[in-house]
Amino acid sequence: MSAVRQIENALIVGGSVDWVHELGAVRIAAVRAQEARTFAAIRRRALEGVLVVVVQGNEVDERAIRARASESRVFIVWVDTAGVAVVGPTGQFLHRLRWASGSSAQSVVRLDTRLAVDKRVTNDTDVLANRRPATYAF
């Protein structure tokens, strides 16, 4: 299955969430919402060079999604039964699309992935420097 097709499937609640793909120079991964309750799964993906993480499911709230994006400095595309939200690397909501009953909504969102490449919160604080992923529990 192509990378684009797997991403499309992940954007359907219930689709496959166990993948990492490259689209051009951008690595994209997916995690289950349960995994996004704590930092480990998304941080691990960030350490693997992933810039965009698709989080699928209702089992996490928006405060946790915003925290995961900002603490690992990645974009998060959160897909649940209500719709899709895009959160930037600083934790701000960039886009929301709510599912309307009986309609097929489409939306195009452009992401400046350079914002997710820079892992510094300040000039002296890199969120991934000196991390030891071998100590993370998965």
How high is the pLDDT of residue 120? 74
Q: Of 35-39, 99-103, 114-118, where does the model show the most confidence? A: 35-39
State yes or no: pLDDT of 92 exceeds 90. yes
How high is the pLDDT of residue 18? 66
Residue span of the structural domain in which 124 resides:
3-135
State yes or no: pLDDT of 87 exceeds 80. yes
Q: What is the CATH number of the domain that holds 39?
A: 3.60.110.10
Mean pLDDT in residue range 88-98: 93
Report how far residue 27's alpha carbon sits from residue 99's, in angstroms, rounded to the nearest whole number.
27
CA torsion sign for 57, 68, 75, 48 is: negative
Report how far residue 68's alpha carbon sits from residue 40's, in angstroms, rounded to the nearest whole number.
9
Give me the chain's average pLDDT, please.
82
pLDDT in tens, 12-71: 555 556 678 888 889 999 899 999 999 989 998 998 899 999 998 888 999 999 999 999
How high is the pLDDT of residue 97? 87
For the chain, the domain total comes to: 1
